[in-house]
Amino acid sequence: MSQSFRRGVCLVIAAPSGAGKSTIAQALRDTDNNLFTSVSVTTRSPRPGEKEGEHYYFRDLATFRQMAENGELLEWAEVFGRGYGTPRAPIEKALAQGKDVILDIDWQGFRLMKKALPEDVVGLFILPPSLDVLESRLRGRQSDSEEEIAKRMMAAEDEISHWSEFDYVVVNQELEKAIEEARSVLMASRLATERCSMAKTFL
């Protein structure tokens, strides 16, 4: 089916930090050329190597708040003391063109996205096999301090308590299997009847 016959899917992937959502989202982006990459806005400073417009749009707090007030962000939140948000215009344009979007954000972001784009958003929750495995993955990432890891583990149980609000759930034990399952969720969402206006031409 030609891509232009359907609206895009906005797949929102959420998980406790360290469960593997960005690894899985990146694997899908790397192997699928119909995906539009959304670049978030943040008030935090760039880390070494991060580029404006590629990793994030880096804005000061006043500009960020103004964007939120103007309705320029589909969803926004304070995560670990910094503002993060998803720009509206590029996503609406991509979906209208039949491009799919993957967002890796938290459960609150998912709720707000579902409210902003109820017809387009599909929610996928990634669970770690256990809390012990989650902690060892956070340690393995080697980018977070002990204090940061403790903070993320505290937040993990709260995040996990929202898993059943999502449309699909994948346990990320073996990475390749989890990627394949996430890819299947995207495929099934693309084929949902309400997205395939082309079928109407048969009536």
- Interacting residues with ligand ADP (CB under 6 A): 15, 17-23, 137, 140-141, 172, 174-175, 178
Q: What are 201's two structure tokens?
A: 């031409």
By the rule CB under 6 A, 86 interacts with ligand 5GP? yes
CB of 197 to ligand 5GP, least distance (A): 29
User: Treating both helix axes as pointing N-terminal to C-terminal, what angle do 175-190 and 21-31 enclose, rounded to 10 degrees?
Assistant: 60
Rounded CA-CA distance 6/133 in Å is 39
Q: Is 25 annotated as a binding residue?
A: no
Whether residue 46 is annotated as binding a ligand: the answer is no
b/e burial code for range 7-26 (CB count within 10 A of at least 16 → b)? bbbbbbbbbbbbbbbeebbe
Nearest-CB residue for ligand 5GP? 40
Draw the binding track, 41-60, toward ligand 5GP (x: CB under 6 A; -: no contact).
---x----------------
Q: Interacting stretch for ligand 5GP, rule CB under 6 A, among 84-92, 131-139, 165-173, 182-190? A: 84-92
Alpha-carbon Rg of the chain, whole angstroms? 17
Q: Is 40 in the site for ligand 5GP (CB under 6 A)?
A: yes
Distance of CA 65 to the CA centre of its chain: 21
Question: Which residues face 53 on adjacent strands?
Answer: none
Residue choice 77, 160, 169, 171 for contact with ligand 5GP (CB under 6 A): 77
Contact criterion met (CB below 8 Å) for 15 and 157: no
Residues lying near ligand 5GP in the complex (CB under 6 A): 17, 40, 44, 75, 77, 79, 84-86, 104-106, 109
Please state the residue numbers annotated as binding site for ATP.
Answer: 15-22
